[in-house]
Amino acid sequence: MKPLNADLHCHSTVSDGLLTPDQLVRRALGNGVELLALTDHDELGGLAEARATADEIGLRFVDGVEVSISWGDDQTVHIVALGIDPTNAALMRGLHQVRSGRDSRAGLMAEELDKVGIHGAYEGALRHAGNPALVSRSHFARYIAEQGHAKDVKSVFDHWLAKGKPGYVEHAWATLEDALDWIDGAGGIAVIAHPGRYRLSKKELHGLFAAFKDLGGRGIEVLSGSHKDEEVREFSRIAREFGFLASRASDFHGPGESWIDLGKMPDLPEDLTPVWSQLV
């Protein structure tokens, strides 16, 4: 049987994506996606529009969100929640609390960037974000690239915004425990996003998987837009070892700014259990 073209991770203008929820859903259908989840960062505000378009054009849709958490020694980890009830009060409250730290963090980032000659970054990033509660490093990156300090958004991260660079500011996001409670309470499945992107040793990563599983976490993104073939093999092995459901995720943010377009990932290894077997 032909595998389902599922894409369970992408972003709209309601976080740091470049397309509106409506545009994103239409693009997904055009790309051959058969099951789509919108997973904006710490924000549920795009789901109603995305679902309305998905219903209109006949695309199966999953309500999602990508929750920012802090793990270990100032490592940010992202947990994708799939199949949540977007009206769940505790989830809404928790995400609101996570978002409320973004504006002051942005102010601190701008102060640091100012010291190294990048001026006006708070206002510039806010112009891209449109809302202080949503302002992210992606919005800073767009401003900094636009000002000619780097050739593209990716190199802005390498020079200015990644951990250890001048514009990086430590920040306390949600805890893993809280995030998993909110997701479980809202009826969702928790999935570790892009496990290949964290700067954790093998041992630390293993510790994260074990803690996540202990707390009720159920899946990992085996396929992510940012995973190399070798990482796909590694996280397939991890899914087998821990009994995790496997997800397939572009992490698309917009044309020209993403590793891969909606739905263009390879298929999951056949022996893994797709997370969507529990969603549809």
> Which one among 6, 13, 16, 252 touches Mn ion, defined by CB under 5 A?
16
Q: What is 64-92 written as a DSSP string? A: EEEEEEEETTTEEEEEEEES--TT-HHHH
Which of the stretches 54-62, 80-88, 131-139, 179-187 binds ligand AMP when contact is defined by CB under 6 A? 131-139
Which of the stretches 51-59, 149-157, 177-185, 199-207 binds ligand AMP when contact is defined by CB under 6 A? 149-157
136 binds ligand AMP (CB under 6 A): yes
128 binds ligand AMP (CB under 6 A): no
40 binds Mn ion (CB under 5 A): no
According to DSSP, residue 157 is labeled I
- As to burial, measured by CB atoms within 10 angstroms (0-12 exposed, 13-18 middle, 19+ buried), residue 246 is buried
Query: Is residue 214 within 8 Å of 240, Cβ to Cβ?
Result: no
> Which one among 93, 119, 151, 154 touches ligand AMP, defined by CB under 6 A?
154
Q: What is 192-223 written as a DSSP string? A: E--GGGS---HHHHHHHHHHHHHTT--EEEEE
Query: Is residue 225 within 8 Å of 211, Cβ to Cβ?
Result: no
Question: What is the nearest approach in angstroms of ligand AMP to the Cβ of residue 65?
Answer: 13
Residue nearest to Mn ion (CB): 78
Query: Is residue 235 within 8 Å of 196, Cβ to Cβ?
Result: yes
4's CB contacts (< 8 A; 6+ apart) are: 34, 35, 274, 276
For residue 131, the tally of other CB atoms under 10 A from its CB is: 16
163 binds ligand AMP (CB under 6 A): no
> Which one among 13, 68, 224, 250 touches ligand AMP, defined by CB under 6 A?
68
261 binds Mn ion (CB under 5 A): no
Which residues, 69 to 98, sit near ligand AMP by CB under 6 A? none
Which residues, 185 to 204, sit near Mn ion by CB under 5 A? 193
Which residues, 220 to 259, sit near ligand AMP by CB under 6 A? 253
Query: Is residue 181 within 8 Å of 150, Cβ to Cβ?
Result: no
Q: What is 137-153 written as a DSSP string? A: HHHHHHHHHHTTSSSSH
Which residues, 224 to 253, sit near Mn ion by CB under 5 A? 251
Question: Taken in order 25, 27, 32, 37, is the CA torsion positive or negative?
Answer: negative
> Which one among 51, 78, 139, 218 touches Mn ion, defined by CB under 5 A?
78
Q: 245 pairs with which residues across the strands? A: 219
Q: Binding pattern to ligand AMP, positions 5-44, x when CB under 6 A? A: -----------x------------------------x---
199 binds ligand AMP (CB under 6 A): no
Query: To the nearest 5 percent, what fractions of the chain are helix, strand and coil?
Result: 45, 15, 40
> Which one among 9, 27, 128, 137 touches ligand AMP, defined by CB under 6 A?
137
Give me the residues that bind ligand AMP (CB under 6 A), please. 16, 41, 68, 136-138, 153-154, 157, 253
Give me the residues that bind Mn ion (CB under 5 A), please. 16, 66, 78, 193, 251
